[in-house]
């Protein structure tokens, strides 16, 4: 594994270098080592990110997890935490970023994240979310109001008409 080439790939994908990208880069490397992962051509590697920050781009570039393939999912908790799954071997790991021991500038944080040991950077935990099923394919229907194709799982039946969620008024008796 050429770490320099992986860093450059992640930086090119993200568009710039920053401490956040470094978090995802180091998480991906740690997951590769812990689970013996390789780039995911399909859905054999799954990542559940608990944030939608810069580090997710590194995970996409390095591990091949993406929303479009259905192997990058978001469980938004606002935490710098990532759960990685290897479908083939049935193994998983959750990596939670540790707070540095002192306040640092952006530049110091960047340097620290590149230099520290992975055990200093992340706490390794068992995954708490069950491995998600493979991505499903859904039929599409034409919204009878706007005329746009919409996945079946997003269509709502209102008065016998198929409507997308943008054209469907929500029903909430408490917030009129």
Q: What are the residue boundaries of the structural domains of the chain, listed by start?
A: 3-125, 137-176
Question: Which structure tokens are listed for 169?
Answer: 């008024």
The share of the chain scoring above pLDDT 90, in percent, equals 90
Query: What is the fold, at CATH topology level, of the domain defined by 3-125?
Result: 60s Ribosomal Protein L30; Chain: A; (3.30.1330)
Nearest to residue 51, comparing CAs of 40, 59, 42? 59
pTM of the entire structure?
0.86
23-44 mean pLDDT: 97
How far is 153 from 171, CA to CA, in rounded Å?
A: 18
CATH class, domain 137-176, is alpha beta
Measured distance CA(161)–CA(8) in Å, rounded: 50
Residue 139: pLDDT band by 50, 70, 90 thresholds?
A: very high
Token output for 162: 């198929």
Indicate whether 1 pLDDT > 80: no
Q: In the Cβ-directed half-sphere of 61, how many Cα atoms lie within 13 Å?
A: 23
Q: How far is CA 158 from each of CA 47, 143, 155, 174, rounded to the nearest angstrom?
A: 36, 11, 10, 20
pLDDT bracket for residue 176 (50, 70, 90)? low
pLDDT at 175: 65
Three-state DSSP state, 82 = strand
């Amino acid at each position: 594994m050429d770490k320099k080439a992986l860093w450059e790939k992640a930086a090119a994908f993200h568009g710039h270098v920053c401490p956040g990208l470094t978090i995802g880069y180091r998480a991906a490397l740690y997951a590769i080592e812990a689970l013996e992962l390789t780039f995911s051509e399909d859905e054999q590697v799954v990542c559940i990110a608990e944030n939608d920050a810069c580090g997710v781009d590194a995970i996409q570039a390095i591990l091949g997890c993406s929303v479009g393939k259905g192997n990058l999912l978001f469980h938004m908790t606002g935490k710098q935490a990532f759960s990685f799954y290897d479908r083939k071997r049935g193994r998983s790991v959750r990596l939670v970023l540790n707070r540095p021991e002192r306040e640092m500038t952006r530049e110091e944080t960047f340097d620290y994240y590149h230099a520290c040991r992975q055990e200093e950077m992340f706490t390794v935990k068992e995954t708490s979310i069950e491995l998600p099923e493979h991505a499903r394919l859904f039929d599409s229907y034409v919204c009878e109001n706007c005329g746009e194709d919409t996945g079946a799982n997003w269509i709502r039946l209102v008065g016998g008409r198929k409507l997308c969620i943008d054209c469907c008024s929500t029903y909430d008796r408490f917030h009129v």
